[in-house]
Amino acid sequence: EMGYKEDLNSMQGLGYKQINKHLNGLYTEEETIDLIKIETRHYAKRQVTWFKNKIKNIKWIDLDKYSKNEAVSKIINTINK
């Protein structure tokens, strides 16, 4: 216990709320990990939605289709055009 209050803005980041609840006995370790994974996925989806709505000329690269080297090459080729 360092005296940090749970309602501090800095304690609202991904994982902090779940860790605090775990430390207070409200979640098991497994539940905490699962909830952090879920919240992280939700956050990532919101980021993608934001990018799609705000940056119309963005070129998406499906990293499941390419190796890291191929993806880097595609990015460099796009920048150099």
Flag whether pLDDT at 3 surpasses 80.
Answer: no
More confident residue, 26 or 5: 26
Q: What is the pLDDT of residue 2?
A: 64
- Full-prediction pTM beyond 0.95? no
Averaged confidence pLDDT in the chain: 90
- Residues with Cβ within 8 Å of 80's Cβ and at least 6 positions away in sequence, in order, are none
List pLDDT tens digits, range 45-67: 999 899 888 888 888 888 899 99
Mean pLDDT of 12-30: 93
Flag whether pLDDT at 23 surpasses 70.
Answer: yes
| Domain range summary for the chain, segments of one domain joined by + | 9-80
Under CATH, what is the fold of the domain 9-80? Helix Hairpins (1.10.287)
CA 59 to chain centre: 20
Amino acid found at 45: K
Quickly tell me which residue has 């191929």 as its tokens.
Answer: 70
Buried/exposed code over 53-66 (b: 16+ C-beta within 10 A; e: otherwise): eeeeeeeeeeeeee
